[in-house]
Amino acid sequence: MSHNLDVYMPVLILAAFAAIMFVGALLVGKLLRPHNPTELKVSPYECGEVPIGTAWSNFNIRFYVVALIFIIFDVEGAFMFPVAAVFKRFVEMGEGGPVLALLLLFISVLLEGISY
């Protein structure tokens, strides 16, 4: 093997496979299934009531804040993963102390945010 970029090949193949499976099943299904939509059938399901307006409306800002906090933690995770990966090696070298201190400082600063 000339280069080990091949490791990403299954990822692409899997994605392609999923797409082919999905489209294929829908196409095969198209030959088999009936197709006779009626006005009632294609209207959004609301337990038999006639729907009023569309569902695309504004909603609570809390969802947005949840997403915001999630991104912050995501970035935090992205920072800590590489450090965590080498932490054991540092400990084995006997240099774990400073790294631990750095890690704890990082986490404690974030903890302040949560407690806030």
Instruction: Return the residues of window 17-76 that contact other proteins according to CB under 8 A.
Output: 17-19, 21-22, 25-26, 28-30, 32-37, 39, 41-47, 51, 54-59, 61-76
Minimum distance, C-beta of residue 41 to other proteins, in the bound complex (Å): 6
Minimum distance, C-beta of residue 31 to other proteins, in the bound complex (Å): 10
> If binding means CB under 8 A, how many residues of this protein chain bind other proteins?
96
Nearest to 111 by CA among 83, 61, 76: 76
Minimum distance, C-beta of residue 53 to other proteins, in the bound complex (Å): 9
- Strands in the chain per DSSP E: none
Minimum distance, C-beta of residue 23 to other proteins, in the bound complex (Å): 8
Structure tokens at 64: 């947005």
What's the helix, strand, coil split of the chain in %, to 5?
70, 0, 30
**Stretch 76-95 residues interacting with other proteins (CB under 8 A):** 76-92
Within 10 A of 99 (CB to CB), how many other CB atoms are there? 17
Q: Is 46 helix (H, G, I), strand (E, B) or coil?
A: coil
Task: Give yes or no for residue 8 binding other proteins (CB under 8 A).
Answer: yes
Dihedral of alpha carbons 18, 23, 28, 34, sign: positive
Place of tokens 């489209």: 23
